[in-house]
């Protein structure tokens, strides 16, 4: 039902009425819009009793009337925030239980008595659930006025907390279902608990003074750019710096603490300052999204630079409204904290917000409430909303878990340090329902999943033909010039995407059969592939020279972006027939030699090797030429699986282009063969499995025996992982990694032989007079250990009881070979002259498997400081176990010590801790450190502080990995075609 935006207002001739208006305890935004509705009711001559936990001045500064009565009672707690930008989901549910569930019986009794005592004609709720039930018990009608309801908000929290809190959500929905109807505000969420809804315009506070008056009061000229900072109070320790603002800008700070010292270009507003006046005097606003900030920004046509909050389902709907009216610019959280504000502020003042809708929602809502109080019926007879709550739970979960939900880079803004430095395209729907990137491509299959890096890649792809046709190609980088000649734009192109991974737990224990926990990171590799008949292929000069005078034959041509950063050739090409040895594919060993001929092109083994593996393992024959473009934002040499992301993205794109159906698991196993046998790196399979099978914001749990995916582990809302790069280049092809792997396999062989010896001795004893040893050790256990396939199948207590003394600290390669013949590892070779460490590499996976299992179990335990401390301790133990194996490094050790220092600082202890542990990741010997901490703004600040301290000590500014994205299997592939221009002049 829709009420006209220009409603007839509230007539003062109505009977004197009494309204009981309940206000939720979640933020001032609710109180400020209640003020606007209550003001109109009081102007009409009615009494309004406001039940609230908000300060009196919020109401009395706007309404000076004896008809306003304020009763200070808090009957719900809203969402508990860890800081200005992070909602603590489990704490929110726990606090609501404490505030509204445990004392529910006494609350209802008290409210019924109070409503009866004031002789209320109507109960209004924004949006306190129990108020609706209390009204029903008192025999009074009730109406809710809101843009969201707590059943919808808490529904997503229940998905994280488990079924033990589900009764809370059902109870809230049941309470709401007692109200007559909902007065629904713009930017609303789904609210299935209500039987009917009446839509009204925006409810906003009007400004009292003009822009000119406010600026004169502040002593600010009209030529000064003014931004108002509105985060509902800045968190303690958040330091604003003069350089955050561009020259010629000033910032008004709302809600700053009394002790907060501000730079000269920041002005602190009084706590009771009337914000609308200062908003209207500003050029843009920087803050978090809430109904109050969005509605007032739209009504004043004030551009809004916003930073997303985690886990608050109201936000996507308000954000959509803000962006629909061209009034919003998204800032990534890291840029907020580091003061990289300039591009966002400059972008904001270039916007022209276009909201022209009504802003008299307070007046319209007051009219409806008055009509309802005197008996008018707005509600239809529909089913109870409690029955429809399941839809809200599912939708709430999907909103937070939508692919790309946590992507850090807004679509309009691309970091200058990114690979391509190109902004993202805008997208829409074509008439036939296919998605089209404006002026670029028609997407015939697949989904962008809201991933801004994919949009950027498509934009860069679209611009290649202009590079090819341009006379100024000499100004372009080598790789861009080479890529410009790759594709025929009349033909279809296939695009795949695969992320790198952060090794949370498991690391080098994967090849020993451990459970591993891996998180796909935000950074990913994109690969574009096109098939062409050899007669239609654009050939580079050297490829053309090879085929001169012959019939065209299939060719592989590859361009890899990023060559200038890693001192390698940007291009590689070969005849596909080079992969053949007679009528069979060439051996992996020969392929390894083939790609090693030119060190500057050895990188091509990761890409072209995919084709040989498909030929060898699946019998695929490639009869068309293949053009292939690789663009990866996964940094090389940082231990986050840049190679696996390239392999997985390449194989996904080639499989799609050739109609091959390969499951994500099988695809990962095939990619491991590329790395093991063609590249020659003896890695396990966890990297490829995570890149192929992972999902955003979840840990992939896998037992590497050889690759059994157990499932996805939800990262609790209060837990967060970061990666910090040490700047020391890591390589799984390095001697340290390979020798540690050899040591582990040597240890396994020794344990198997020792078990066989004990088994034989026990069997002999059992046939004699003494069977104690057989009884103690267990015949079946010894049999299993004598045929041990994976070290991780051995429990720590069995290792300590029977085998620790069997393993030497070190052993010479030739000594081992003389006694044990072989270590039975198909991807490493023992050097007889090399001395190998054995005990530490063998011990590490046995204990690491136990640590990972414990870590996984802890993730599902209750949110507590003890839980986070235990998670951190497991990371620390893993780190020092790496070091014992010889896989540490000065840089990674320094980063771990910095985390420890931060954790043990007095300030962290007094704030219940923020960072709890760190460990080296992946193959070790450099690369990235994984950090676990509380998901809060203060943790992010401490990560940035560690980054700066590391730079101060080493001169290197570490790259920080934060955020997650879907694996290749979840992404699928895109089949795209260049959009045909309708302009005859083009």
State the pLDDT at residue 182.
94
Q: How many Å apart are CA 574 and CA 392, to the nearest integer?
A: 55
What is the C-alpha to C-alpha distance for residues 875 and 870, in angstroms, rounded to an integer?
A: 9
What number of residues does the chain have? 986
Token pair recorded at residue 719? 């837990």
Which tokens belong to 631? 């663009």
Backbone angles phi, psi at 49, to 5 degrees: -100, 110
Under 8 Å between Cβ of 885 and 844: yes
Show the domains of the chain with their CATH numbers.
18-203+366-399 (3.40.50), 211-358 (3.40.50.2000)
| pLDDT of res. 468 | 53
pLDDT value of position 398: 45
Q: Which of 753, 747, 745, 748 is nearest to 826 (CA)?
A: 745
**Helix ranges, 262-350 (H):** 275-280, 291-299, 315-324, 333-338, 342-349
What local confidence, expressed as pLDDT, does residue 569 receive?
72
* Exposure b/e, 616-648, CB count within 10 A at least 16 = b: beeeeebebbbbbbbbbbbbbbbbbbbbbbbbb
The string of DSSP codes covering 742-766 is HHHHHHHHHHHHHHHHHHHHHHHHH
Assign residue 297 a region: left if phi > 0, alpha if psi is -120 to 50, beta otherwise?
alpha
Phi, psi of 450 (to 5 degrees): 70, 15
pLDDT at residue 924, rounded to an integer: 83
Instruction: Please tell me the distance from the alpha carbon of residue 467 to that of residue 666, in angstroms, as a whole number.
Output: 38
* pTM of the full structure: 0.75
Question: pLDDT value at position 552?
Answer: 83
Burial class (CB in 10 A: 0-12, 13-18, 19+), 603: buried
Q: Hey, which residues are catalytic here?
A: 687
Q: Which of 505, 517, 518 is nearest to 844 (CA)?
A: 505
- Residue 980 CA to residue 20 CA, distance in Å, equals 62
Residue 213, helix vs strand vs coil: helix
As a whole number of angstroms, the distance between CA 322 and CA 72 comes to 33
Token readout for 93 is 């549910």
pLDDT attached to residue 566: 57
The DSSP letter of residue 433 is: S
Question: From the first residue on, what is the mean pLDDT of each consecutive set of 10 residues in the chain (986 residues)?
Answer: 41 75 88 95 96 91 94 91 78 90 96 97 97 97 95 76 73 91 92 86 92 94 95 67 96 80 92 90 95 94 89 83 90 84 93 94 96 86 48 46 38 32 36 46 88 90 70 53 85 96 93 95 96 82 69 88 68 90 94 82 90 96 94 88 95 97 96 93 86 95 90 91 87 68 96 93 62 61 93 96 95 96 92 95 97 96 91 97 91 95 77 86 88 90 93 90 94 90 49
What is the per-residue pLDDT for 394? 44
Q: Identify the pLDDT of residue 550.
A: 74
| Separation of alpha carbons 70 and 60, rounded Å | 9
In the chain, helix, strand, coil percent, each to 5? Answer: 45, 20, 40
């Amino acid at each position: 039902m829709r009420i006209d935006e220009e409603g007839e207002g509230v007539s003062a001739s109505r009977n004197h009425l009494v309204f009981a208006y309940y206000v939720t305890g979640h933020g001032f935004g609710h109180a400020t819009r209640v003020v606007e509705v209550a003001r109109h009711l009081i102007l009409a001559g009615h009494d309004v009793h406001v039940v609230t936990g908000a300060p009196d001045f919020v109401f009395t500064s706007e309404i000076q009337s004896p008809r306003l009565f304020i009763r200070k009672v808090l009957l719900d707690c809203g969402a508990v925030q860890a800081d200005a930008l992070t909602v603590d989901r489990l704490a929110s549910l726990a606090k609501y239980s404490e505030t509204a569930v445990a004392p529910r019986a006494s609350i209802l009794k008290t409210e019924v008595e109070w409503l009866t005592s004031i002789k209320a004609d109507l109960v209004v709720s924004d949006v306190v659930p129990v108020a609706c039930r209390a009204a029903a018990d008192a025999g009074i009608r009730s109406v809710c006025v809101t843009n969201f309801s707590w059943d919808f908000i808490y529904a997503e929290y229940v998905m994280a907390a488990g079924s033990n809190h589900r009764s809370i959500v059902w109870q809230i929905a049941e309470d709401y279902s007692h109200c007559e109807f909902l007065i629904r505000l713009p930017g609303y969420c789904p609210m299935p608990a209500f039987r009917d809804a009446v839509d009204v315009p925006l409810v906003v506070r009007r400004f009292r003074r003009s822009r000119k008056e406010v600026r004169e009061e502040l002593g600010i000229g009209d030529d000064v750019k003014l931004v108002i900072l509105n985060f509902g109070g800045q968190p303690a320790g958040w330091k604003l710096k003069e350089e955050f603002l561009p020259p010629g800008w000033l910032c008004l700070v709302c809600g700053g603490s009394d002790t907060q010292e501000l730079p000269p270009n920041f002005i602190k507003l009084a706590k009771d300052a009337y914000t609308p006046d200062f908003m209207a005097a500003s050029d843009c606003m920087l803050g978090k999204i809430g109904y109050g900030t969005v509605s007032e920004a739209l009504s004043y046509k004030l551009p809004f630079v916003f930073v997303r909050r985690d886990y608050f389902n109201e936000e996507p709907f308000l954000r959509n409204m803000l962006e629909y009216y061209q009034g919003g610019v998204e800032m990534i959280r890291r840029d907020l904290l580091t003061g990289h504000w300039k591009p966002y502020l400059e972008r904001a003042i270039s916007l022209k917000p276009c909201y022209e809708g009504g802003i008299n929602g307070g007046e319209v809502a007051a009219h409806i409430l008055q009509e309802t109080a005197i008996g008018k019926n707005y509600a239809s007879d529909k089913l109870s909303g409690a029955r429809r709550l399941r839809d809200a739970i599912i939708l709430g979960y999907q909103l937070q878990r939508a692919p790309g939900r946590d992507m850090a880079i807004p679509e309009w803004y691309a970091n200058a340090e990114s690979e391509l430095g190109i902004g993202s395209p805008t997208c829409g729907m074509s008439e036939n329902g296919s998605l089209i990137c404006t002026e670029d491509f028609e997407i015939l299959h697949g989904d962008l999943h809201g991933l801004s890096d994919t949009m950027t890649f498509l934009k860069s792809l679209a611009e290649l033909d202009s590079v090819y046709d341009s006379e100024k190609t000499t100004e372009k980088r080598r790789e861009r010039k080479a890529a410009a000649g790759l594709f025929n734009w009349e033909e279809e192109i296939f695009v795949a995407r695969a992320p790198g991974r952060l090794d949370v737990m498991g690391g080098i224990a994967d090849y020993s059969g451990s459970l591993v926990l891996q998180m796909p990171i935000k950074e990913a590799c994109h690969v574009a592939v096109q098939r062409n008949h050899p007669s239609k292929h654009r050939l580079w000069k050297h490829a053309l020279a090879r085929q001169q005078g012959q019939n065209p034959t299939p060719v592989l041509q590859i361009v890899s972006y990023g060559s200038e950063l890693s001192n390698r050739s940007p291009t590689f090409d070969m005849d596909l027939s080079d992969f053949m040895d007679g009528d069979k594919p060439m051996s992996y060993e020969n392929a390894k030699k083939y790609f090693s001929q030119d060190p500057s092109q050895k990188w091509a083994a990761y890409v072209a090797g995919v084709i040989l593996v498909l030929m060898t393992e699946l019998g695929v024959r490639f009869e068309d030429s293949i053009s292939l473009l690789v663009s990866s934002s996964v940094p090389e040499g940082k231990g986050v699986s840049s190679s696996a992301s390239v392999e997985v993205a390449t194989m996904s794109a080639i499989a799609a282009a050739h109609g091959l159906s390969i499951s994500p698991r099988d695809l990962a196993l095939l990619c491991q063969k590329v790395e093991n046998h063609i590249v020659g790196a003896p890695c396990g399979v966890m990297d490829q499995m995570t890149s192929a099978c992972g999902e955003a914001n979840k840990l992939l749990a896998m037992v590497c025996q050889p690759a059994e995916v157990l499932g996805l582990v939800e990262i609790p809302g209060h837990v967060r992982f970061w990666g910090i790069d040490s700047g020391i280049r890591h390589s799984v092809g390095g001697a340290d990694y390979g020798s540690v792997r050899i040591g582990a396999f040597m240890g396994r062989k020794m344990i198997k032989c020792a078990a066989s010896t004990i088994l034989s001795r026990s069997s002999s004893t059992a046939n004699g007079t003494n069977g104690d040893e057989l009884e103690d050790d267990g015949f079946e256990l010894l049999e299993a250990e004598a045929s041990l396939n994976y070290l991780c199948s051995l429990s720590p207590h069995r290792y300590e009881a029977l085998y620790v003394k069997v393993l030497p600290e070190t052993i010479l390669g030739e000594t081992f070979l003389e006694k044990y013949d072989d270590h039975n590892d198909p991807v490493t070779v023992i050097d007889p002259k090399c001395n190998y460490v054995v005990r530490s590499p063998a011990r590490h996976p046995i204990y690491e498997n136990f640590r990972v299992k414990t870590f996984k179990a802890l993730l599902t335990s209750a949110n507590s400081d003890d839980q986070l401390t235990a998670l951190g301790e497991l990371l620390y133990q893993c780190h020092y176990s790496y070091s014992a194996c010889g896989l540490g490094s000065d840089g990674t050790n320094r980063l771990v010590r910095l985390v420890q220092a931060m954790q043990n600082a007095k300030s962290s202890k007094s704030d219940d801790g923020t960072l709890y542990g760190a460990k080296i990741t992946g193959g070790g010997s450099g690369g990235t450190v994984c950090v676990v901490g509380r998901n809060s703004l203060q943790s992010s600040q401490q990560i940035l502080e560690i980054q700066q301290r590391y730079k101060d000590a080493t001169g290197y500014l570490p790259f920080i990995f934060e955020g997650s994205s879907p694996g290749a299997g979840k992404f699928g592939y895109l089949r795209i075609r260049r959009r045909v221009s309708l302009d005859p002049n083009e």
